[in-house]
Amino acid sequence: MRTSDGSRAEMSFTIPRDDLATARTALGGLCAELGMDVEGDETMGKVSIVGAGMKSHPGVAAKVFSTLGDHDINIEMISTSPIRISCVVPGEKVEEAVRALHGAFDLQGADTIRPEQPFGEFAR
């Protein structure tokens, strides 16, 4: 979108793929009013590291970013909170990213990768 001074501003968010058409419809009027476009990228994926201990362990974010970089996994977007680091990555790299992060943090379960569903429920 263009701001009043002519510069460009961008806003990004992620939603489940199945909700993209609904989001486009919901944002349609607002986008027209503000002169914005909605673009979707159905090829992206997202990996997250979650844990309350991240607040007390410095360097977790650096380890996530360096691990993904070492595996040539490009990070498109980053979202953080005190207990979560989420990275938007190319969809075809999600499994590799999950396995690499499991290895970097000495976690088990890399063989049970499951897509997350909205509201924290997991696909069966």
User: Would you list the domain boundaries of the chain?
Assistant: 1-41, 44-113
Give the pLDDT of residue 124.
45
Give the pLDDT of residue 20.
86
Q: Give the CATH class of 44-113.
A: alpha beta
Give the pLDDT of residue 116.
63
| pLDDT in 10s for each residue of the chain, 124 residues | 555 666 777 788 888 888 888 988 998 888 888 888 888 888 899 999 988 888 788 899 999 999 999 999 999 999 999 899 999 999 999 999 999 999 999 888 767 777 666 555 554 4
Cβ contacts of 99-104, under 8 Å, gap ≥ 24: 100/67, 100/68, 100/70, 100/71, 100/73, 101/47, 101/49, 101/64, 101/67, 101/68, 103/67, 104/63, 104/64, 104/67
